[in-house]
Each structure stands twice: as structure tokens, then as C-alpha cells.
């Protein structure tokens, strides 16, 4: 399976309350949650194996104790069983495990 197919085949992260997750649709839409706020935007192939994401719009709720690191997303790289998330400065800010898409 190529990186783009893998990207759109899985949900990345957990949909448990307070946990970050992302979904990527084949039509270029991206959406998810940072564990508190809903995120929505677009994605497209970038150089090499990178995927450019954003800018992402977000709700702006305050949730005590939730790390909203996912709001810094700029690019992602698809691994076998995880998605690496990078900021605009190309620094790794986190990763999300591959999960089956919830029914």
C-alpha cells in the first residue's frame, strides 16, 4: 500500500475523550480533534514522502489538562503503523498510532 492510500485508510490516533486524532479523506479534506477542539482543513502531497496539512481551522474551547500540540501541524509522514506530525519548522511534535476507522 502506498503512503497516500495508507493515509486515507486509517484513523490516526484515538477517538477516546481527551485524545488527539486525525482523518484524511481522498478528496483532500482533513479533520479530527486535538483532544479538546475540532480541527478541519485540507491536505496535499508535498516533497518526497511528506504530506502538507493545513492551515487547520479549529474551535477554541478551553479544556483543562489537554495538550493541544496537534494544532501546530504543518506536515505529516506516514510510517507503517503511525503518523509522525511535524510543525512549520520541520520539528517532530508528536505521533499518532494507526487505528481502524470507527464504524
CATH label of the domain that carries residue 53: 2.40.128.270
Owner of C-alpha cell 478541519: 40
pLDDT of residue 2: 67
Q: Which domain holds residue 58?
A: 3-98
In a domain, 63, yes or no: yes
Give pLDDT tens digits along the chain (103 positions). 566 778 999 999 998 888 999 999 999 999 999 999 999 999 998 877 789 998 899 998 888 888 889 999 999 999 989 999 999 999 999 999 999 887 6
In a domain, 65, yes or no: yes
Which of 11, 50, 3 has its CA nearest to residue 30?
Answer: 11
Q: Is this prediction's pTM over 0.95?
A: no
Q: CA–CA separation, 59 vs 93, rounded Å?
A: 20
Question: Number of folded domains in the chain?
Answer: 1
In a domain, 103, yes or no: no
In a domain, 11, yes or no: yes
Amino acid at each position: 500500500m502506498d503512503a497516500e492510500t495508507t493515509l486515507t485508510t486509517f484513523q490516526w490516533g484515538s477517538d477516546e475523550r481527551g485524545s488527539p486524532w486525525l482523518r484524511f479523506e481522498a478528496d483532500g479534506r482533513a479533520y479530527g480533534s486535538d483532544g479538546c477542539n475540532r480541527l478541519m482543513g485540507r491536505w496535499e502531497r508535498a516533497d518526497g514522502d511528506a504530506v502538507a496539512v493545513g492551515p487547520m481551522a479549529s474551535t477554541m474551547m478551553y479544556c483543562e489538562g489537554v495538550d493541544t500540540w496537534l494544532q501546530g501541524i504543518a506536515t505529516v509522514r506516514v510510517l507503517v503503523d503511525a503518523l509522525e506530525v511535524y510543525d512549520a519548522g520541520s520539528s517532530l511534535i508528536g505521533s499518532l498510532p494507526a487505528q481502524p476507522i470507527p464504524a
